Amino acid sequence: MKPVAWLIAALLPLAGGAAASARLELQPQPAGAQVELCFAGEDAPLRYELIVELHGPGGVARTRQAGEARGDGCPVITRLGAAPGSLIEARLSWQRQGQAQPAIERRLQLQLGTEVSRGTPGYRLSGNSSGVCCRAARRCWNSAGSWISTS
């Protein structure tokens, strides 16, 4: 066997076909965000661990999801409820054929909504003089740090 052919034959099992890829997205949504984790280009099982932290007015919430994914697909698509101004951080650690792949990190700072005050048409902040409203959810985040319904 020629040296080049031998080298290709030796490296082929390590290549495992087309390289796998991972995609981690944080998208703002009304009253929160959507987390989406997708894999592509691999038939062998991929192991993953996804940690999401939500930093909001009530403190820090942390979730962890781990598992195995095979083939193309999105093992994680979830919505998070979060107050305007909250920070969401996500970190993906994953392995392909037992080998650690580069971690992926994403951050999303949710924007504050429209400031409203008593008397703004279509919105009523029960007992409060101001707050932040999410028009799509028809709810407001008041200065005391809790959701209230709008009328």
Residue carrying structure tokens 């949710």: 110
Name the pTM for this structure: 0.63
pLDDT in tens, 23-45: 999 999 988 999 999 999 878 88
pLDDT in tens, 50-100: 999 999 998 999 999 999 998 889 999 999 999 999 999 999 999 999 999
Residue 117 contacts residue 130 (beta carbons within 8 Å): yes
pLDDT band at 17 (very low <50, low <70, confident <90, very high): low
Residue 116 contacts residue 140 (beta carbons within 8 Å): yes
pLDDT in tens, 128-149: 334 444 444 444 544 444 455 4
Q: Which CATH number fits domain 17-109: 1.20.1090.10, 2.60.40.2420, 1.10.10.10, 2.130.10.30?
A: 2.60.40.2420
Cα angle: 11, vertex 12, 14; to 5 degrees = 70
What is the DSSP secondary-structure string of 25-89? EEEEETTEEEEEEEEES--S-EEEEEEEEEEETTEEEEEEEEEEE-SSEEEEEEEEE--TT-EEE
Could you state, in order of their start, the residue ranges of all structural domains in the chain?
Answer: 17-109, 114-149
**Overall residue count recorded for the chain in this entry:** 151
